[in-house]
């Protein structure tokens, strides 16, 4: 995952958008829960600490240099509301490096880099609904200014669900070159 704990700007933008979207009754992502999911390594039960060390060791020499992104408002669907991140190039390079390091260890990423679409989710839909009302609601937010994200590391996390939010514990943090 990419996380942004040292930057208040993404959380501020998220809160502004979430307040506007509150009438939809979506499940907002907490400010400290904003993230870009890159890939999933496997279940906690299936991966002992030694295997996680192997994953981190294989990834470290392949990681690109630190980079900056812009979180750009806003896309909506029947499943979620999210910020697009741009440019995609550095995130795709990071995804490809992680995928290659996993493949070297016999682990298969869930999604090929060619299918990966980087984004930061702001809220999740908690019931079936058509996409049109969500898309309409985010239209007014698309004129908001983007926020800058400085990506300095990638984090291997243990992900879990707490109520209606994703939460995690950082297992390893790998600095970008």
Which pLDDT score, from 0 to 100, does residue 42 have? 86
* Contact predicate 75/122, CB 8 Å: no
φ/ψ (deg, to 5) at 124: -115, 145
More confident residue, 78 or 115: 115
Which helix (DSSP H) or strand (DSSP E) does residue 57 occupy?
helix 49-59
Residue 80 predicted with pLDDT over 90 = no
Domain 2-175, architecture per CATH: Alpha-Beta Complex (3.90)
> What Å distances lie between residue 93 and 13, 27, 38, 56, 114, CA to CA?
26, 31, 11, 17, 11
- In terms of Cα–Cα distance, which of 164, 152, 73, 153 is closest to 119? 73
Give the mean model confidence (pLDDT) for residues 102-130: 91
What is the sign, positive or negative, of the torsion defined by CA atoms of 46, 48, 54, 57? positive
Which pLDDT score, from 0 to 100, does residue 85 have? 94
Report d(CA 85, CA 122) in Å as an integer. 13
For 127-160, the pLDDT digits (tens) are 888 888 898 999 989 999 999 999 999 999 999 9
Give residue for tokens 């490096």. Answer: 97
Report d(CA 136, CA 119) in Å as an integer. 19
Give the mean model confidence (pLDDT) for residues 40-50: 85
Which of 31-40, 73-82, 99-108, 142-151 has the lowest average pLDDT? 73-82
């Amino acid at each position: 995952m990419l996380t942004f704990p040292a930057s208040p700007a993404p959380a501020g933008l998220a809160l502004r958008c979430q307040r506007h979207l509150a009438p939809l009754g979506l499940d907002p992502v907490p400010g400290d829960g904003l993230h870009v999911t890159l890939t999933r390594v496997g279940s906690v039960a299936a991966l002992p600490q030694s295997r996680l060390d192997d994953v981190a060791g294989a990834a470290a020499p392949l990681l690109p240099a630190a980079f900056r992104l812009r979180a750009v408002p806003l896309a909506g669907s029947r499943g979620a509301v999210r910020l697009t991140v741009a440019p995609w190039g550095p995130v795709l390079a990071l995804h490809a490096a992680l995928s290659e390091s996993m493949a070297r260890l016999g682990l298969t990423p869930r999604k090929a880099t060619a299918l990966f679409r980087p984004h930061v989710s702001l809220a999740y839909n908690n019931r079936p609904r058509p996409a049109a009302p969500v898309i309409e609601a985010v239209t007014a937010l698309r004129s908001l200014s983007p926020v800058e994200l400085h990506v300095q590391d990638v984090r291997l996390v243990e992900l879990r669900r707490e109520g209606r939010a994703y939460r995690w514990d950082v297992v390893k943090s790998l600095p970008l070159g």
